[in-house]
Amino acid sequence: MKEIWKKKKIFVITIALMVGIIGTAATFAIITATAGTVTNTFQAAKVATEIEEEFEGKIKAGSTVKKNPSVKNTGISDAFVRARITISPEQTEVTLLNGTWNGTAFTEKGKAADSIATESTLYDPDGDGTGWYQGTDGWFYYNSPVAPGQNTDNLFDAVKIGNVTKNFDITVYQEAVFAGSYEAGDKVGLPVLKGFFAEVTK
């Protein structure tokens, strides 16, 4: 144990000497090469996000209305995003759909993010490798950091209304956290995503 400590101590001293030499050389170069100064401003990470969506259509039994929520990064740092969807009352006969709109005509491609297998399946309608995981905690986790100015994929594209005779609410709630060393385009597993949010909600 004593021998290991000695080796560490020597290593630290060597590094310190190297830093001293580099620092001296740099100072000399500044004095001889320029009389100006250089200021580097380091900006702290800032996370800010908001929900964006288009909403069109007449709310009535049997209709399909356009509602396509995504989350936009309005901050200055890459961020991980999670979202929660609630339908109230819970027994309301509505279905969230995935598909495309051409004017007022909707082409259904299947059910939306809330229909995927919990934890194990990535909701990725366009097949580009980025999309949403549904956690057992009720949250949907986007599997890639969202760059500033960019949006997640839609959680769903339309709402199909069944035999509904009373008012109901569909609420989308979102949270975001700084992505650390991960960058937009990286693909991240669900345990890592959960870990980031768990760290800031302790």
Residue at 198 is within a domain: no
Both tokens assigned to 38: 């250089």
Asked whether residue 138 falls in the same domain as residue 187, the answer is yes
Asked whether residue 31 falls in the same domain as residue 102, the answer is no
Asked whether residue 8 falls in the same domain as residue 27, the answer is yes
Work out the burial of residue 19: count CB atoms within 10 Å of its CB; fewer than 13 is exposed, 13-18 middle, 19 or more buried.
exposed
Using CA of residue 159, residue 63, residue 98, residue 137, what is the dihedral sign?
positive
Alpha helices in 34-87, H assignment, sequence order: none
Please, how many CA atoms are within 13 Å of residue 197, restricted to the half-sphere of its CB?
20
Identify the residue whose tokens are 């929900």.
Answer: 51
**Domain interval for residue 34:** 1-40
Query: Tens digit of pLDDT for each residue in 42-69?
Result: 555 688 999 999 999 888 889 999 999 9
Both tokens assigned to 197: 């949010």
Average pLDDT, the chain: 81
Using CA of residue 143, residue 146, residue 150, residue 154, what is the dihedral sign?
positive
Instruction: Give the pLDDT score at 91.
Output: 83
Query: Tens digit of pLDDT for each residue in 123-157?
Result: 999 999 999 999 999 999 999 999 999 999 999 99
Asked whether residue 54 falls in the same domain as residue 25, the answer is no
Asked whether residue 57 falls in the same domain as residue 23, the answer is no
Query: Tens digit of pLDDT for each residue in 150-191?
Result: 999 999 999 999 998 888 999 999 999 999 999 999 999 999
Asked whether residue 56 falls in the same domain as residue 101, the answer is yes
pTM of the model: 0.77
Element (H, E) at 193: helix 190-200
* Count of domains observed in the chain: 2
Both tokens assigned to 157: 């594209």
Asked whether residue 28 falls in the same domain as residue 97, the answer is no
Residue 184 DSSP code: T
Contacts of 107 (CB under 8 A, 6+ apart): 99, 100, 101
Asked whether residue 83 falls in the same domain as residue 154, the answer is yes
Radius of gyration of the chain, Cα coordinates, nearest whole angstrom? 26
Report residue 194's pLDDT band, with 50, 70 and 90 as the boundaries.
very high
